[in-house]
Chains A and B, each alone.
Chain A
Amino acid sequence: MEIIKLLYFSLRKNGVLQLLIAVFTFFSLIFLITLLRFSRHHDQLLNDISERNEFFENVQVFHLTDGHGGFFYGAEVHEEPIFLQADGLERMKEFHYNLRLSNEFYVASAHTGMFLEIDASQFLGGEAFHFGYEWGLTGPLADGRGNYFYQIKAASLDYAAWNLSSMEMKHGRAFQAEDFSLFSGRIPIILGYQYANYYEIGDLITMYFLAFQFDFEVIGILAENQRLFNEVTGTYLDYSILKPLISFGNPLNEEERRFQSIYYNNKSLSAYIFVDDTPEAVNQMHNIIYTAAAHLNIPYSFSMTDHTFVLHGEMVNLIHHHTGVIHRLLINSILLIALIILFLSTIKYHRQKSVYQVHALLGISKSKQWLALLLENLIFNGLTVFIALYYSVFYSGIMYTSYQRAFFSTYDISRWPIFWEAVIFDSFSFYHLSLQPALSYSLFLLLVSIIYPTIKIHQLYKGVRSK
């Protein structure tokens, strides 16, 4: 009862506590406003993504593969790879051309498996640009004649894939239809964002593609974090060269024929086929490709692929970006609030010091004073802990609903976070990012709530003795 009375007197009379409430109310409002603004911004981005990806929402996507797995449609498969057969190149070109003629489906080719090679002494970039850098393949390769080459990351795409990918430019110009037409001496390229420090628009770079030397002209540099439509994460193109899948005229010799055969084989087999999401359209597409392939004796297989990869990629990027923002925001807020708490607690103690001294003289025991101060700290620090925890869950909820919306097309505002949801959500990782700093903050305040009264009451009695 005595402790309650001490607490009551302190709470009733201490103006600093009112100040504390005012400060935290202020910060809470700022926090809330930031949150709402952020939420609206996030929502806008989601809408933009949805609009950009409207094309993907009502289609099924099939991927042509290299014919070594999956179901074969080819009626007859030659023992030799098609690009080694006498008329293999012409058949590949025709098949490739026919695929894109149909009005029943849409074909786009894009892949990142065909690197470029460059003279090691000519290359300006660092190891992160090397093909296979992520697996530790960074060293130059020797050609046996004293020359050294780097294999560097490159992505190839046709005009359809370029249009689907909706990439943003940092400098220079985007690809145009004519960049994908017949080879005319130099190949236009767009460099990834990280190349901006090394090359400029208009630079000519001599590189080897499928062992053939070409001059590549830099026409643009991509903005950061751009992706091909079939990529999930946005880091690859930052260190890569974007190269159009151009057309080649008739080969002049056997060497050129071999090059073009491999090239067209890759071009066809990196194709994604987009077809309306109806059984009739899918069957029709199967028949058309089957007929074309059988007619030309082309071995191929194709498999249905997950069309959500497009949304997935964009969403993962967005969620990663925003959880990063939230993480930084929370850590900074927590540090700031923690400093304010320490500062206000110190002021509060100094203003209450005379009260504690009088209490000591009147015979209120050290432990009771400690307990009263502890309770007071716990009440107010507990309030801020509650705010921190609630907001952290709230922020996480936004991430979670974004996730839900992106992958399952549900966006139920009533599912916005309350505490128990944090425990039962199967995507707990979304809470992890923002809960971690909030829990650290709570632990910090708990320690402050316990240690601070202990130190201060000890100092008080030491002071009374020496007074």
Chain B
Amino acid sequence: MIALKNITRTYKVGQHKRCVLNDLTLEIKKHESIVIEGRSGSGKTTLLNILIGLDTAFTGHYQFEEMDMSHAKSAIRAKFRQEKLGIITQHFDLLDDRNVYENIVLAIHHQKLSAVEKRKRISELLDYVNLSGYEKMPVKRLSGGEMQRVGIARALAKRPKLIVADEPTGSLDEQTRDEVLTVFKKMMQDKVQFIIVTHDKEVSAICNKVYRLQEGKLKNLSS
């Protein structure tokens, strides 16, 4: 279970303080996927950064399963990202001087797998995201949709407890967005747990719970 209790995050802007998250509370049960909607600047990315352990400058309590993430040290938070989270970003965050295989293998290089096992897993994942045989393809030669599917494969490679996606279709056109949505639907059927931050209604539609982030608080739109 993931639990955020009374989370408040403020930014200092010049002489003033701006409260982005205001006493926010959220509880996500096991295997439950949610979507967080909100306008630009509403604090979605801040919330996501707290969830993935990159932002610690908040007050309140954050619990991920048995781990108290509110007070976890930097190394613990890094290990948490490495082992338990798969992260998908709007701009894919792939290393464009490397090929598809090298990008995905980065996510599992810490795992005690043989080279053969790594190749097998990556091959399966590429098959899963409809990119079979793309291992040696340089990333810079892929389309936006293909890049995002490599990003998804990389997020899934470590077999994480949770996938966190920040505007996964935000940089894609309609056609490539559909390719990505197809993969997301497949993942949903396979009971992969998501937290997706988006303002794309079609992405919202694939999840069972939708929240709106407004004035620093979450409002459940599904209930």
Contacts and interface: CB of A to CB of B under 8 A. Distances in A.
Interface of A: 2, 5, 13, 354-355, 357-368, 461, 464-465, 467
Given A363-B82, A364-B82, A464-B54, A13 B97 contact: yes
Contacts of A363: 78-83, 85, 110
24 contacts: A2-B109, A2-B110, A5-B109, A13-B97, A354-B95, A354-B96, A358-B106, A360-B78, A361-B81, A361-B87, A361-B89, A361-B93, A362-B81, A362-B82, A362-B106, A364-B78, A364-B82, A365-B74, A367-B74, A368-B78, A464-B49, A465-B55, A467-B45, A467-B49
B138 to A, nearest CB: 12
B24 to A, nearest CB: 17
B42 to A, nearest CB: 16
Contacts of B81: 361-363
Contacts of B93: 354, 357-358, 361
Contacts of A366: 74-75, 78
Contacts of A2: 109-110
Nearest to A367: B75
A357 B92 CA distance: 12
Closest 6 CB pairs of A and B: A363-B82, A363-B81, A365-B78, A365-B75, A361-B87, A465-B55
Interface string B57-82: 10000000000000000110011111
A123 B132 CA distance: 97
Sort chain B's interface into a size bin: 20 to 34
A18 to B, nearest CB: 13
A373 B87 CA distance: 24
Contacts of A461: 54
A182 B54 CA distance: 98
A465 B79 contact: no
Nearest to B85: A363
Contacts of B154: 362
A365 B79 contact: yes
B172 interface: no
Contacts of A365: 74-75, 78-79
Contacts of A360: 54, 78
Contacts of A361: 52, 81, 87, 89, 93
B108 to A, nearest CB: 9
Given A358-B106, A361-B81, A363-B83, 13 more contacts: A355-B95, A358-B93, A360-B54, A360-B78, A361-B93, A362-B81, A362-B87, A363-B80, A363-B110, A364-B82, A367-B74, A368-B78, A465-B57
